[in-house]
Amino acid sequence: MIRCISPVDGSVYAERPTLSAADAGAAVERARVAQSVWAARPLAERIELVLDGVARVGAMNDEIVPELAWQMGRPIRYGGEFGGFDERAQYMARIAGESLAPMVLEPGDDFFGRMIKRVPHGVVLVVAPWNYPYMTAINTVAPALIAGNTVMLKHASQTPLVGERMASAFHAAGIPDDVFQNVFLDHQTTSDLIAARSFGFVNFTGSVAGGKAMETAASGTFTGLGLELGGKDPGYVMEDANLEAAAATLIDGAMFNSGQCCCGIERIYVAESLFDAFVDKAVSIVEGFKLGNPLEQETTLGPMAQERFADLVRAQTSEAVMAGAKALIDPKSFPEDGGAYLMPQILTDVDHSMRVMREESFGPVVGIMPVKNDSEAIRLMNDSDYGLTCSLWSSDPERAEHIGDAIETGTVFLNRADYLDPGLCWTGCKDTGRGGGLSVIGYHNLTRPKSYHFKKA
């Protein structure tokens, strides 16, 4: 049984039975049979159906927003995820024709033609996370369907209603039931299906441990994997930065969604000359937050998705303070703190011996350190097992590019943070995973190249 325990009040919000091994296998077979028929439909038709499904999700937004609050705790004031959900799907639809078009080579006198086509993998399994359950799912669902794959979506147990909403919308748009299936699977059944080579491609967003389990299950099957796992994304504020913008954006990147963002800012390095002023601004911003029930309009920070996630951040923070870190946010400012409701915290006098600066927190806490120069900042930013994004703050793009070239990461932001641009490849390195979503690279990962070499007789 998949069970969602609401972080709002600890009640059971939703339950769904998981598929038996036999039923899961039957679902895969239906998807396999449906795939060739779906891929044979014109590209323009597949695009139209997917975008219609996306629009129908948007039409449900008034119901979806409070559902998200109940399932994973995001305050209703932020209006859900449809803006990003739609932006990503629309962009991938716009570039589909060019991205999937055959690459035609000069034929030469001896050839009828030579070209490389992009062909679908077949059945794609999407295993989506709870923190941005609609946007992370659509990253793969939309381009996979557009490219001619069939898709099975397995959503996190914390957000079981998301896949149901998407399936309902896509089916109402005319996408056949077997082409896009929402499935409830336990871990063992998922692993067994992957090990049985049920899928042409698997996309997983989640923990490092979950990614390792996916790789173990796929071992020897040669199944393609796209993995976006943990993160410990840094920000670096240089002496020529716009201080107001840097503080506002980096603290928002650290605290929005209660810190539960894939590319959230988890550590900040500030040029010594700006350090005190940056910290003052950061504290002022955080002191203005309102922690509480996400169903109330004035709430800016809701509960974390599960109490154990909040307890992990509490432990990291407590250990850091015991080791000499200074906590700057007064607990008296957030009397609602307790259980899954976690107050935000800013730490100074931190160093990389502390877990809070090394291990993923995925919560509303950030450590801030002064740095003497770019070399020290680069060394500290690279002192991590993860590499998803980094956020640089400067008025000098050449300097930023030089620093970015030296950072082990998937995306380098300048004067921005915590944003996914669908025109760029969403990718990571080190323990953050491998592969890439969105952009033309997303289509390349969701298809395989097939060469045609036609010589004259």
Same domain (yes/no): 315, 369 = yes
Are 148 and 35 spatial neighbours (Cβ–Cβ below 8 Å)?
yes
Same domain (yes/no): 407, 373 = yes
For residue 427, is it within any domain? no
Same domain (yes/no): 334, 449 = no
| CATH of residue 360 | 3.40.309.10
Over the stretch 69-105, which tens digit does the pLDDT of each residue have?
999 999 999 999 999 999 999 999 999 999 999 999 9
- What contacts 39, CB < 8 A, 6 or more positions away? 120, 148, 149
pLDDT of 109 strictly over 90: no
Same domain (yes/no): 223, 237 = no
Same domain (yes/no): 240, 310 = yes
Q: What are the tokens at 24?
A: 């899961």
Provide the number of structural domains found in the chain: 2
Helix (H, G, I), strand (E, B) or coil at 131: coil
Helix (H, G, I), strand (E, B) or coil at 105: strand
Mean pLDDT of 180-190: 97
Same domain (yes/no): 148, 170 = yes
Distances (CA, A) of 53 to 69, 88, 225: 23, 13, 26
For residue 84, is it within any domain? yes
**pTM beyond cutoff 0.95:** yes
Helix (H, G, I), strand (E, B) or coil at 15: strand
Same domain (yes/no): 84, 63 = yes
Q: Which of 261, 262, 263, 390 is catalytic?
A: 262
For residue 245, is it within any domain? yes
Same domain (yes/no): 252, 280 = yes
> What is the predicted pLDDT for the residue at 395?
98
Are 169 and 182 spatial neighbours (Cβ–Cβ below 8 Å)?
no
How would residue 107 be classed by pLDDT, with cut points 50, 70 and 90?
Answer: confident
Q: Which of 4, 67, 81, 228 is catalytic?
A: 228
For residue 175, is it within any domain? yes
Over the stretch 332-379, which tens digit does the pLDDT of each residue have?
999 999 999 999 999 999 999 999 999 999 999 999 999 999 999 999
For residue 426, is it within any domain? no
Average of per-residue pLDDT values in the chain? 97
Same domain (yes/no): 161, 279 = no
Are 409 and 265 spatial neighbours (Cβ–Cβ below 8 Å)?
no
Same domain (yes/no): 328, 182 = no
For residue 191, is it within any domain? yes
Mean pLDDT of 170-193: 98
> What is the predicted pLDDT for the residue at 356?
98
> What is the predicted pLDDT for the residue at 44?
98
For residue 192, is it within any domain? yes
Told to judge if 262 belongs to the known catalytic residues of this protein, a careful annotator would answer yes
Over the stretch 403-434, which tens digit does the pLDDT of each residue have?
999 999 999 999 999 999 999 999 999 999 99
Per the structure, the complete domain to which residue 83 belongs is given by 2-229+432-455
Same domain (yes/no): 294, 442 = no
Over the stretch 239-287, which tens digit does the pLDDT of each residue have?
999 999 999 999 999 999 999 999 999 999 999 999 999 999 999 999 9
> What is the predicted pLDDT for the residue at 106?
86
Same domain (yes/no): 272, 299 = yes
Q: Where are the beta strands (DSSP E) in 230-293?
A: 233-237, 265-271
| CATH of residue 45 | 3.40.605.10
Told to judge if 360 belongs to the known catalytic residues of this protein, a careful annotator would answer no
- H/E stretch holding 29 reads helix 21-40
For residue 115, is it within any domain? yes
Q: Where are the beta strands (DSSP E) in 56-149?
A: 103-105, 111-120, 123-128
C-alpha 393/C-alpha 341 separation (Å) is 31
Name which of 329, 262, 336, 345 is nearest 299 in CA terms. 336
